[in-house]
Amino acid sequence: MRYLTELSLEAFVTAAENVPYQQINSDLFPNVDLWVRRDDLLDPIISGNKAYKLIYNLLEARKQGKNTIVTCGGAWSNHIHATAAAGQRFGFKTIGIIRGEKPPVFSAMLQDAERFGMELRFVSRQKYRQRGGQDFIDVVGAPSSCHFIPEGGANYLGAQGILLLADAIQKTKPVDFEEYWVACGTGLTVGGLCAKLGKKSTVVGVPVLRAEEQVEVNTQKWAARFANGSCDLTIVRDAHMGGYAKQPAPLLEFMEVYEKYTAVPLEGVYTGKTLKAITLNREPKPTAKHCRKSVLMIHTGGLQGRRGVLFK
């Protein structure tokens, strides 16, 4: 694995085009020709879909001469983690607005963010609810000259990075996939991917939280914004296993077995639930003749979050 050493579009595209695809030859998936695109390996720290959502945000901030990046998230946010690391790597000051009171003991994520040089500001949940508003920067007292990135990196520039990911997939995919599976939080990633990949294939989003209808609306909004016509999008229901970040024992057991047999590291908030959804939705149907679809799961990273549950 190589580090992203410079902030340039060329270097980022090269890294994206070098992300490996891993074919999973396992009896655990008898009905699919399953592959995983390992975007968790894009960079050792600035990885997964959060890196793609950051790239154009960082380039834009630099272009505008803004050297402070402000963003927000929870105590285990992959987006906060990636932003703090990118700020340190590429020379931006970063401010993280963290939801909730300052905890007496920092999560491993918060410890990392601080170590990467991010200034952490804790705001009440009530204040945090205003994060979508125009004046959130003022509400939290951040400098108005900063570049603000919304929660999860979900803005127009973030979507541009996901389109870049779709281009990289189209250019480097080892086979013609019939389906692409992706975990959804805000739904931006799956929406952006569908805009490009959903023309010839089905793009399947797996919401990892209960608000599936809202996710579906967001996803369709992002897809429609960039699709130039229709695209084939499916949203899987009931894959959240109890709600956002809920990691019941059956999920953890599933992940342990699958990691052992496939050597793909997973975390329980996004990628574990997505892989589980693939197994559940690709069970042999009694009437179906032998049919092995080629399926690509996009590994959206987030492995830093394993420390929250798996290694407690």
Inter-residue contact 44 to 1 (CB < 8 Å): yes
Q: What's the rounded Cα separation, in Å, for the pair 175 and 33?
A: 10
- Does residue 189 interact with ligand PLP by CB under 6 A? yes
Which residues does 214 contact at the CB level (< 8 Å), separation at least 6? none
Which range, of 1-9, 45-53, 140-148, 246-254, touches ligand PLP by CB under 6 A? 45-53
User: What are the start-end ranges of the H helices in the chain?
Assistant: 9-17, 48-63, 78-90, 108-115, 125-128, 136-139, 156-172, 188-197, 212-227, 249-262, 271-281, 306-309
Which lies closer to ligand PLP via its Cβ, residue 31 or residue 36?
36
Which range, of 30-38, 42-50, 66-74, 93-101, touches ligand PLP by CB under 6 A? 42-50
Measure Cα distances from 132 to 61, 184, 202 in Å: 20, 19, 31
Which range, of 166-174, 180-188, 238-246, 250-258, touches ligand PLP by CB under 6 A? 180-188
CB of residue 286 to ligand PLP, shortest distance in Å: 33
Could you tell me whether strands 93-99 and 68-73 are parallel, antiparallel, or unpaired per DSSP bridges?
A: parallel
String marking each residue 83-122 x if it binds ligand PLP according to CB under 6 A: ----------------------------------------
CB of residue 270 to ligand PLP, shortest distance in Å: 3
Which residues does 134 contact at the CB level (< 8 Å), separation at least 6? none
Pick the binder of ligand PLP from 98, 270, 273, 310 (CB under 6 A): 270
Which lies closer to ligand PLP via its Cβ, residue 31 or residue 49?
49
Q: Which residues bind ligand PLP (CB under 6 A)?
A: 48-50, 78, 152, 154, 183-189, 270-271, 300-302
